[in-house]
Amino acid sequence: MNKSHDVAVLGLGYIGLPTASIFATKGKRVLGVDVVPAVVETINQGSIHIHEPDLDVLVRAAVQSGNLRAAIKPEPAEVFIVAVPTPFQVKADGSRVPDLSFVESAARSIATVVQPGNLVILESTSPVGTTEKIKAWLEDELAKLGRKVDGLLYAHCPERILPGQMLKELVSNDRIAGGLTPEASRKAKELYRCFCSADIVETDARTAEMAKLTENAFRDVNIAFANELSLVCDKLGIKVWELIKLANRHPRVKILQPGPGVGGHCIAVDPWFIVDSAPKEARLMRTAREVNDGKPDWVIGKVRAASAGLKDPSVACLGLAFKANIDDLRESPSLEIATHLADEGFKVWAVEPHVCELPKALQGKAELVGLEEALVKADILLLLVDHDAFKRIPPSTLMGKITIDTRGIWNSQ
């Protein structure tokens, strides 16, 4: 067997790679594990496969120091951190159920290398009870192998980082260390203290799991209020952007900005985990999800109405990412809208300055073009993401164009 690492991080995506790299730059011997060979090869070359400010510098430094290495399979380590995706599946009746297959696979994969006293940490945002399931899956796999490994510790330590500011927030944001035992909580807290300068609060695993889900469900409900308000204002002929500015002058009111929906792997997904766990009780959270999930259809309807009378209408979809100034397309309502418009027969000019090629959903259906070309060619300018590049479009350029602004950039000018 290989010499034991300090930390093994399973999953080298938007959460796992920054986490592995920052541990390595703090002197930990880190093994990053990913099932995609191209990802492993890229990281071992000191490069990155995702876009995040300054992450390339961090990864390069970590690899060059010899403290970070990537591999396809786990190797012995003192701590195993699971940072794999936790999506949901949509059933025939429209309900969403958590898909924990990646977590289960990761848990079972360490059965051949785990040693007595190792700490297993779940970082992936997961339904309540998932940390207990990791313990059960690992123990089941150990039994199949005929291995007896005593003293294993388990904890849930959810990340709270924002794409575009990951490296800063990894260090400066408070963390939760929720163990299946107090000892696991304490050990997890000690581990993250090597780079986290904020508070690290100990609790139990179930509370830690629910805390992360609650944070994102709270934000989802507040966004849903803004999105629903935009629908009401449209029906009543009121400018929602002006209305929100006026309402927010009240000292105890802070309405968020509406948009074309809600995307990303957190806010668009996590509330469904709560709804699935307590469907009769989580009525408000379910409704909020339905409001936000329904907003893309409303935007598509606006485009249809705007194109009435146009022959072979073309639409410039400005932005495909789920939020401004990043390349993350996961659960993006903007991508959903662009795809639906293309499927309906619209000529779609996709403008996304943070990607080099169209995602699979749009390949063969749309054309990825620069902003200047789209502004000239398109009949309809559909602003979906408030990227900085779009904020700099001169108002004079929009003259004579049909514009639909889902972010309030042009409407506020």
Assigned token pair, 318? 């400005």
280 catalytically annotated: no
Residue of 28, 135, 189, 212 with catalytic role = 212
* 3-class state of residue 314 by DSSP: strand
Nearest-angstrom CA–CA distance, 334 and 322 = 7
Strand partners, 80: 8, 120
Cα 58 to Cα 21, 168, 315, 409: the distances in Å are 6, 12, 39, 34
Phi-psi region of 329 (alpha: psi -120 to 50; beta: other; left: phi over 0): alpha
332: burial class by Cβ within 10 Å (0-12, 13-18, 19+)? buried
- 48: phi then psi, degrees, rounded to nearest 5: -130, 155
End-to-end CA distance of the chain: 64
Cβ atoms < 10 Å from Cβ of 231: 15
Q: Which of 266, 295, 317, 323 is catalytic?
A: 266
Among 380, 314, 378, residue whose Cα is nearest residue 344? 314
Q: How far is CA 328 from CA 130, 164, 181, 318, in A?
A: 26, 10, 36, 15
Please confirm, yes or no, whether 26 is among the known catalytic residues: no
CB atoms within 10 A of CB 226: 17
Residue 133: which H helix or E strand, with range? helix 130-145
Distances (CA, A) of 411 to 4, 231, 372: 58, 16, 20
Please give the backbone phi and psi of residue 150, each rounded to the nearest 5 degrees, phi first.
-90, 160
Integer-rounded Cα radius of gyration of the chain: 23
The set of catalytic residues is 212, 266
